[in-house]
Amino acid sequence: MLIELSSDGSETIYEENEYEWLAEVNLPKSTFRLAWALYLLVILQYFSQDIFETNTVPDIFGWTLVAVITFSVGTFLTLGFKEIFRSTQAA
């Protein structure tokens, strides 16, 4: 059971499905994609510092490649989690 308290003291109780509150949050898809892209960009940058700092790969090309990869993976993860959420709603 999930209990949501608001600032005025009222509460909403979600007994059947703890993820029901996600349906009430209407954020644009681009927000989730951007969040995943930034998250993965930080992780990828941390693990690949040597790859994009060498003289053989220009920094602009390297960071463009990282941005495209992270945005694509972020979109894939967003759609994947949406399908998981949708399948739990149907069950």
Q: Alpha-carbon Rg of the chain, whole angstroms?
A: 19
Residue pair 38/49 in contact (Cβ under 8 Å)? The answer is: no
Q: Flag the least confident range among 15-24, 29-38, 80-89.
A: 15-24
pLDDT at 83 over 50: yes
Band of the pLDDT at 53, cuts 50, 70, 90? low
- Residue 43's pLDDT is 74
- The answer to whether 62 and 48 have CB atoms below 8 angstroms apart is no
Can you read off the two tokens belonging to residue 22? 């996600």
8-27 residue pLDDT tens: 666 665 555 655 555 666 66
* pLDDT (0 to 100) of residue 1: 45
Q: Determine contact, residues 52/27, Cβ cutoff 8 Å.
A: no
